[in-house]
C-alpha cells in the first residue's frame, strides 16, 4: 500500500511544476517581425492538494503552423514534458491525452527530429522561438493552432471517473493569418482534443469547459 501511494505521488509530481513565480507574457516569434503573444490567465498556474502535499499545476502547451490546405509546416513551441514524454510514473509512450491534436500531427520521424529545438519549460517568463523565413511566403495565408491542457483540471462534466488524469481535455485556439501582413490577429478557442488521446480530431465548441478557459487570458499574433 505504501508503494502504491508513493507511485501515485510521483505520477502527480511528474505532471506538475512546483514554482510559484509570477508568470509573465509568453512571446513567440513566428515570422520575421511578427510575434504570437500569450497572456497568462488566472489558472495558468493553480494549486492542488494531494495527500499532505500542495503543488502547483502547470499546463502543457503546443503551438504549430499549417498552410491554408491544412498541411503541417512547423512546431513553433512546445513545453518540454510534452515534447520529450518525460512523465514520471506514466507509460513509456507518455501522455498522448495531454496534447492529442499536436501529438497526432507530428507522427513522422522527419517532424520528431526538430522538436527538441523548440521545446521549452512550462512558461514562467517570455519564451521566444523562430520559424525559418523560407517556411513562410509573404502574402500567403496560414493557420496558427495553439493547444493547451492542464492535468487534473476536473469539473462537474469531466470528472475523475470519465476523464482519467486529464480532467477537461486540451483546448484548441486558432487564427488565420497572412505572412507579412501588419496588425493584430486574435486566436480564439474553437474546440478541444480527445480526452483519452486516442485520436487527433478537434471537436467543435467549448461547451462544458470552465477553469480551462482561464488558463490563458488572451493569445494573438501581432506585427
pLDDT tens digits, one per residue of 172-219: 999 999 888 888 899 999 999 999 999 999 999 999 999 999 998 888
| pLDDT at site 15 | 44
3-state secondary structure of 109: helix
- Summarize the confidence of residues 90-97 as an average pLDDT: 70
pLDDT tens digits, one per residue of 138-177: 899 999 999 999 988 999 999 999 998 889 999 999 999 9
* pLDDT exceeds cutoff 60 at 34: yes
Q: What letter would DSSP give residue 124?
A: S
Output phi, psi for 61, to 5 deg.
-135, 140
* pLDDT exceeds cutoff 60 at 5: no
Name the residue with cell 507574457.
25
pLDDT tens digits, one per residue of 102-152: 999 988 656 665 676 566 666 655 444 555 556 788 899 999 999 999 988
Q: What Å distances lie between residue 106 and 45, 62, 120, CA to CA?
A: 27, 11, 17
Give residue 3's pLDDT band: very low, low, confident or very high (50, 70, 90).
very low
pTM: 0.81
| pLDDT at site 182 | 85
- Rounded (10°) CA dihedral 211, 45, 61, 221: 80
Contacts of 200 (CB under 8 A, 6+ apart): 100, 101, 103, 104, 105, 193, 194
pLDDT tens digits, one per residue of 64-74: 999 999 999 88
Name the residue with cell 496588425.
183
Amino acid at each position: 500500500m505504501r508503494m502504491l501511494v508513493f507511485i501515485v505521488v510521483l505520477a502527480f509530481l511528474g505532471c506538475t511544476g512546483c514554482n510559484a513565480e509570477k508568470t509573465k507574457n509568453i512571446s513567440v516569434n513566428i515570422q520575421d517581425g511578427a510575434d504570437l503573444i500569450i497572456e497568462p490567465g488566472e489558472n495558468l498556474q493553480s494549486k492542488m492538494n494531494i495527500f499532505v502535499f500542495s503543488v502547483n499545476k502547470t499546463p502543457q502547451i503546443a503551438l504549430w503552423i499549417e498552410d491554408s490546405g491544412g498541411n503541417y509546416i512547423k512546431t513553433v513551441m512546445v513545453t518540454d514534458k510534452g515534447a520529450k514524454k518525460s512523465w514520471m510514473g506514466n507509460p513509456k509512450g507518455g501522455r498522448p491525452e495531454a496534447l492529442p491534436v499536436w501529438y497526432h500531427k507530428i507522427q513522422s520521424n522527419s517532424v520528431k527530429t526538430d522538436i527538441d529545438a523548440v521545446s521549452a519549460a512550462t512558461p514562467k517568463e517570455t519564451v521566444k522561438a523562430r520559424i525559418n523565413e523560407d517556411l513562410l511566403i509573404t502574402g500567403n495565408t496560414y493557420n496558427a493552432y495553439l493547444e493547451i491542457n492542464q492535468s487534473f483540471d476536473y469539473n462537474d462534466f469531466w470528472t475523475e471517473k470519465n476523464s482519467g488524469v486529464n480532467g477537461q481535455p486540451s483546448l484548441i485556439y486558432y487564427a488565420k493569418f497572412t505572412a507579412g501582413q501588419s496588425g493584430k490577429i486574435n486566436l480564439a478557442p474553437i474546440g478541444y482534443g480527445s480526452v483519452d488521446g486516442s485520436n487527433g480530431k478537434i471537436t467543435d465548441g467549448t461547451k462544458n469547459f470552465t477553469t480551462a478557459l482561464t488558463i490563458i487570458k488572451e493569445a494573438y499574433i501581432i506585427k
